[in-house]
């Protein structure tokens, strides 16, 4: 069964460093998302991406964040200068079409720890 994969599973970084989180969405999917989950809290939407453009972004997704689909298979989330509060689980998701009632498939997540 096709699945969304994410690497690394755990990333530890120093405050102020840049990190890149990688995702490989399901191959025939066209819509891509990043969500994050701070420990013990709810899953929060960060950004959606389609046709090499950001479709929508949340207030969390400020200038420190960027997304890219560099090679037609990977989908990356970059945090330019990490803060302590960026420590969270980051989930990539993908869907076949953009419709409210279309399932988003989530990857296993990358745990980001900022020291």
Partner 1 sequence: QQQVKQSPQSLIVQKGGISIINCAYENTAFDYFPWYQQFPGKGPALLIAIRPDVSEKKEGRFTISFNKSAKQFSLHIMDSQPGDSATYFCAASSNTGKLIFGQGTTLQVKP
CB atoms within 10 A of CB 10: 10
Cα-based distances in Å from 99 to 40, 47, 63, 103, 109: 29, 16, 27, 9, 23
Torsion of CA 76, 43, 12, 70, to 10 degrees: 0
CB of 101 to partner 1, least distance (A): 4
Does 65 bind partner 1 (CB under 8 A)? Our answer is no
Tokens encoding 103: 């399932």
In eight-state DSSP terms, residue 108 is -
Does 106 bind partner 1 (CB under 8 A)? Our answer is yes
Q: Which of 34, 35, 61, 75 binds partner 1 (CB under 8 A)?
A: 35
State which residue, 19 or 93, has the beta carbon closest to partner 1. Answer: 93
Q: How many residues bind partner 1 (CB under 8 A)?
A: 28
Does 7 bind partner 1 (CB under 8 A)? Our answer is no
| Chain contacts with partner 1 (rule: CB under 8 A) | 4, 31, 33, 35, 41-45, 48, 55-56, 58, 91, 93, 95, 98-109
């Amino acid at each position: 069964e096709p699945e969304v994969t994410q690497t690394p599973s755990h990333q530890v970084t120093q405050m102020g460093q840049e990190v890149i989180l990688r995702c490989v969405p399901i191959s025939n999917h066209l819509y891509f998302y990043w969500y994050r989950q701070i420990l013990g809290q709810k899953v929060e939407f960060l950004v959606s991406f389609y046709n090499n453009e950001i479709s929508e972004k949340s207030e969390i997704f400020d200038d420190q964040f960027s997304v890219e689909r560099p090679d037609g298979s990977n989908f990356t989330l970059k945090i330019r200068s990490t803060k302590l509060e960026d420590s969270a689980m980051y989930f990539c998701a993908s869907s076949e079409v953009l419709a409210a009632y279309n399932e988003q498939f989530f990857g296993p997540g990358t745990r980001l720890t900022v020291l």
